[in-house]
Structure 1
Amino acid sequence: MADISAQVATESEKNPLERQRELMQLLSQETRHSIIQALLGHPEVLASAAEINHFVPSKAKKTVEEQLDVLVAADILAIYNHTLNKQKRGLPWKFYGFTTHGTDILEDFNYLKAVPMARAVHQKTRKPEKIIRHETAPRPPLPDPVRVTFRLNNESG
């Protein structure tokens, strides 16, 4: 796991084909791919760990957390904190979402074409009360390029 993120981090030393191969390996690993799909389908493109775990049910929570760390280390995802939620019981304050670099990579590998289908699946998926509460919780703003990529017009909280 860490080897992949370390390899991706040294992109300036690699030729473009090697870089592309490494990115494809990073994105196509089963758990990471499922995480990316869960985020592509999320209406706010920012999800708590609990939400991501709900949409990646076939993997252990620890496995999902490890793969989230790999995606953060590779600068595909970032952790976005909404500290105002810390004072509110039952609301998440730590969210995972794409970075500007991550959206560029998703565009390069045609992942963004899957957004309408991923959002439809997300909308139709049954969610327990906790996940609904997390999904509707206030969130921090995304960077403008990420917000524009996903055509998000209004930012929450």
Structure 2
Amino acid sequence: MADISAQSSTDREENPLERQRELMELLSQETRHSIVQALLGHPKHLASTAELDHFVPSKSKKTVEEQLDVLVDAEILALYEYPPNREKRGLPWKFYGVTEYGAAVLGDFNYLEGVPMARAVHRKTRKPEKIERHEAAPRPPLPEPVRATFRLDEETD
């Protein structure tokens, strides 16, 4: 696969068919697809590595982390930090979430249409105490355009 993260946004725009093919290949890889689905289903669309490992159980922790790095390098996801949790035992302080560019890509590929189903699956999935604690942990806000994409301010649950 071509390294789309090394291309400038201008390069991506100059060859939209190649860009679309690369993105399709990027998003369709099984582990990356599962990671994206897990994030789309997360109530805050920001998940710790432990949460993602729980929701992608068929892959090793190392594999999930490697594919998270690929998605970050491609600017689909970003690592968001919440330093106040650093001092609190048992709470994550690093979270993965969609970038503004990633939200646009996911919208272009109709991933956002599946958010209600992904949320329902997430709610119905049994979670051990550690994962529930991680899910309830304070976390940084997503950038406003991403929040708007997921309509986070309009949700009541």
Give yes or no for contact 1:8–1:22 (8 Å, CA) kept in 2: no
Question: What is the CA-CA distance between 1:8 and the residue it aligns to?
Answer: 4.6
Q: CA deviation at 1:9?
A: 3.3
Q: Which residue of 2 aligns with 1:29?
A: 29
- Work out the CA distance in 2 between the residues paired with 1:67 and 1:112: 20
Please point out which of 3, 6, 20 is paired with 1:9. Answer: 6
- In the other structure, the counterpart of 2:47 is 47
TM-superposed CA distance for 1:40, in Å, is 0.2
Cα separation, 2, equivalents of 1:121 and 1:44: 14
Q: Match of 1:74?
A: 74
Aligned residue identity for 1:19: R
Distance 2:73 2:5 in 1: 9
Partner Cα distance (1:7, 1:128) in 2: 37
Structure 1 unaligned spans of 5+: none
Amino acid at match of 1:142: L
Indicate if the aligned counterparts of 1:77 and 1:98 stay in contact, CA closer than 8 A.
Answer: yes
Name the CA distance, whole Å, in 1 between partners of 2:102 and 2:29: 16
Aligned to 1:87: 87
Stretches of structure 2 that go unaligned for 5 or more consecutive residues are none
Equivalent residue pairs, number: 152
TM (norm. structure 2) is 0.93
Deviation at 1:75?
A: 0.3
Secondary structure of the 2:130 match is: helix
Give the structure 1 partner of residue 62 of structure 2: 62
> What letter is aligned with 2:10?
S
Other-structure match for 1:115: 115
Provide the residue aligned with 2:149 in structure 1. Answer: 149
Letter in 2 for 1:146: V
* 1:126 aligned partner: 126
CA RMSD of aligned residues (A): 1.5
Contact 2:82 2:93 in 1 (8 A): yes
